[in-house]
Amino acid sequence: MHELSIAEAMLEQALAALRAAGGGRVVRLRVRVGELSGVDPDALAFAVPVAARGTEAEGAQLEVVRCPARVECEVCGATTAVEWPDVRCGHCGADRVRIVDGRQLRLESLDVETPAAALDGG
Ligand SMILES: [Zn+2]
């Protein structure tokens, strides 16, 4: 499954950031998935917890931010959202457009819990 390897790569990135921050665990992940990225957000939402099993991100909440496809028109210059796969300018209807948004696939942010509480001896 394509989404599982993407989930693994994102987790690797998240865990590296966690270690750089001093350790602890990941409690929440926010990822941005463009409509044109070729990734199914639902499949990704399923794959992340699977890939997180046994890591410091196990049980982390996942928030998937879906980004619609947007194009810039070469005729009138407007930037509009499109109903993929009907790629046309939403303003003048021209099909001479350039894709400017919707291809992204990235880990946007993560919330971590530091191990400070565990040091409290009490
Ligand atoms: Zn146009």
What is the predicted pLDDT for the residue at 100?
95
Note the pLDDT tens digit of each residue in 106-117. Answer: 999 999 998 765
CATH number of the 2-67+102-114 domain = 3.30.2320.50
Which residue ranges make up each domain of the chain? 2-67+102-114
How far apart are the CA of 87 and the centre of ligand 1, in A? Answer: 11
What is the predicted pLDDT for the residue at 117?
53
Whether pLDDT at 121 is above 90: no
How many C-beta atoms lie closer than 10 Å to residue 117's C-beta? 8
Note the pLDDT tens digit of each residue in 73-96. Answer: 999 999 999 988 889 999 999 999
What is the predicted pLDDT for the residue at 52?
97
Q: Grade residue 102 by pLDDT with cuts at 50, 70 and 90.
A: very high
Average pLDDT of span 12-16: 96
What is the predicted pLDDT for the residue at 115?
75
How far apart are the CA of 36 and the centre of ligand 1, in A? Answer: 20
How far apart are the CA of 83 and the centre of ligand 1, in A? Answer: 15
What is the predicted pLDDT for the residue at 29?
96
How far apart are the CA of 84 and the centre of ligand 1, in A? Answer: 16
Q: Give the C-alpha separation, 66 to 34, whole Å.
A: 6
How far apart are the CA of 94 and the centre of ligand 1, in A? Answer: 5
Cα-based angle 20, 25, 26 (whole degrees, multiple of 5): 90
Name the pTM for this structure.
0.79
SS (H, E, C) the chain: CHHHHHHHHHHHHHHHHHHHCCCCEEEEEEEEEECCCCCCHHHHHHHHHHHHCCCCCCCCEEEEEEECCEEEECCCCCEEECECCECCCCCCCCCCEEEEECCCEEEEEEEEECHHHHHCCC
Note the pLDDT tens digit of each residue in 20-63. Answer: 989 999 999 999 999 999 999 999 999 999 999 999 999 999 99
